[in-house]
Structure 1
Amino acid sequence: MKKTLTRGLMNLLPMVLSLWLFWSLFISLDGLGRLLFALVGLDELYIGAGFMLVAVIVFIAGLLFSVSPIVWLYGWLERQLMKFPLFKSVYGSIRDIAGLMNRDGKPKTQKTVLVKQANGGYVVGFIMSDETPSPLTQALPEGDWVPVLFQLSYQMAGVTTLVKREELIAVDWSFEDAMRFNLTAGISTSNKAKPKN
């Protein structure tokens, strides 16, 4: 009985939580769109109309950001707001995360690597960028240093360490699968990693 309940829970829980998360996002965006409709006097609308309005607004914004004057104006506004320390910290973090999700047409710099530990074991890490900030390279001993993220299990947090490139073992493993492996403490093993020769 206990095994059957556990099996049912383990199979249903990820699906139910995923559907609930996407449904909550849909309802939130739909509510925002309906609020915008209400501002112009359109109250009685079907569910989904608000979501479609938000999607259209986002699409139009994408088109506008391909026009140079709009990009310049937005960049100017962004620079003015970045003068406020708290806004700079919050906005900068959100912008960087959004940049990670939007990698269309850009080379994927996030590479999966293994780093040898003092006890002889290895830890899975990710090269997040091929360039190290200038102040760090000047402070470090001579060498080709790269920032490597070590993701903490069951958390979105991680530890970024600077490691010499020659001490890294490249792994033929996608960033997404390796990240899933780290986040679940090795439970998720959908794809096996293959060290590069």
Structure 2
Amino acid sequence: MNHFLKTLRQIFLKGLFTFLPIAVTIYIIYAGIVIMESMLGTTIQRFFPSLYVPGIGLLLTIVFIFLLGLLLNNILTASFFGNIERQLMKVPFIKAIYSPLKDVMNLFSHNGSKEMKSVVLVDVGDIKMLGLVTRDDFSDIQVNGHLNDRVAVFVPLSYGLGGYTMLVSRSKITEIDMPAEKAMSLAITGWVKVAHKHDGESR
């Protein structure tokens, strides 16, 4: 009886661990679609009901984002938006919200991935922590030379979003040959090794 219940539990957990990533992915995509549809779709439905068809808000939002990106490729319009951004950053409350959000977006953008200069192991006593070097030059920050021999290392947290930044001595880090995406995946999953029976590979 115990063996039967154990088998049922293993089968259920196998199904659960397969279902959850799929369900969460679908939910995030669905939530994103709903948000984009509501951004312009609700406005059109209220003021131009005869023009509204389901999905038009999503389509117009995508077109708007594309056009915005197109405009930002132009030096003049990029400079114009840059001036607006600098004015917004002068407002304390807006700066407190906007600046961290933009930093996070830049982190996941193509240009942001270049900011991740290398994957390193950080020596913390007898402990080694996996991190990504995000800055190795502090010349633009007025800290009276206190960070001359330091690098900023982002250490992601396991099983969750976020992490923390360490300003460590260069002698305390060891660069390793690993893509940033792989390092993030290992850190977030707690370095759990998952066997892939279909191809004989393991992670």
TM-score, reference length from structure 1: 0.83
**2:192 maps to amino acid:** I
Q: Aligned in 2, Cα 1:175/1:18: closer, same or farther, shift over 3 Å?
A: same
Q: Aligned in 2, Cα 1:75/1:108: closer, same or farther, shift over 3 Å?
A: closer
Asked if the contact 1:113–1:124 (Cα under 8 Å) also holds between the matched residues in 2, the reply is yes
2:165 aligned residue: 160
Q: Aligned in 2, Cα 1:20/1:65: closer, same or farther, shift over 3 Å?
A: same
CA shift digits 1:33-53 (9 cap, x unpaired): 312423551456443222111
Mark the runs of 5 or more structure 2 residues left unpaired by the alignment.
Answer: 1-7, 196-200
1:170 aligned residue: 175
Map of 1:51-62 to 2, 5 A cutoff? Answer: 51-62=58-69
Asked if the contact 1:173–1:192 (Cα under 8 Å) also holds between the matched residues in 2, the reply is no
1:117 aligned residue: 124
Asked if the contact 1:181–1:189 (Cα under 8 Å) also holds between the matched residues in 2, the reply is no
Q: Aligned in 2, Cα 1:188/1:32: closer, same or farther, shift over 3 Å?
A: farther
1:100 aligns with 2:114: no
Asked if the contact 2:193–2:202 (Cα under 8 Å) also holds between the matched residues in 1, the reply is no
* Cα-Cα RMSD: 2.7
Asked if the contact 1:34–1:50 (Cα under 8 Å) also holds between the matched residues in 2, the reply is yes
**Residue 75 of structure 1: how far off its partner (Å):** 1.8
CA shift digits 1:92-119 (9 cap, x unpaired): 111111111222597353421112221x
Map of 1:11-90 to 2, 5 A cutoff? Answer: 11-38=18-45, 40-43=47-50, 45-90=52-97
2:151 aligned residue: 146
**Residue 69 of structure 1: how far off its partner (Å):** 3.2
**1:71 maps to amino acid:** A
Give the Cα separation in 2 of the matches to 1:35 and 1:22. 19
Give the Cα separation in 2 of the matches to 1:74 and 1:98. 17
> Percent sequence identity over matched residues?
25
Asked if the contact 2:107–2:115 (Cα under 8 Å) also holds between the matched residues in 1, the reply is no
**Residue 12 of structure 1: how far off its partner (Å):** 0.7
Mark the runs of 5 or more structure 1 residues left unpaired by the alignment.
Answer: none
**Residue 149 of structure 1: how far off its partner (Å):** 1.5
Q: Aligned in 2, Cα 1:12/1:105: closer, same or farther, shift over 3 Å?
A: closer
**Residue 61 of structure 1: how far off its partner (Å):** 1.0
CA shift digits 1:37-90 (9 cap, x unpaired): 235514564432221111111111112222333223222221222111121111
Give the Cα separation in 2 of the matches to 1:11 and 1:136. 49
Give the Cα separation in 1 of the matches to 2:112 and 2:93. 32
Among 2, 9, 14, the residue aligned to 2:16: 9
1:129 aligned residue: 135
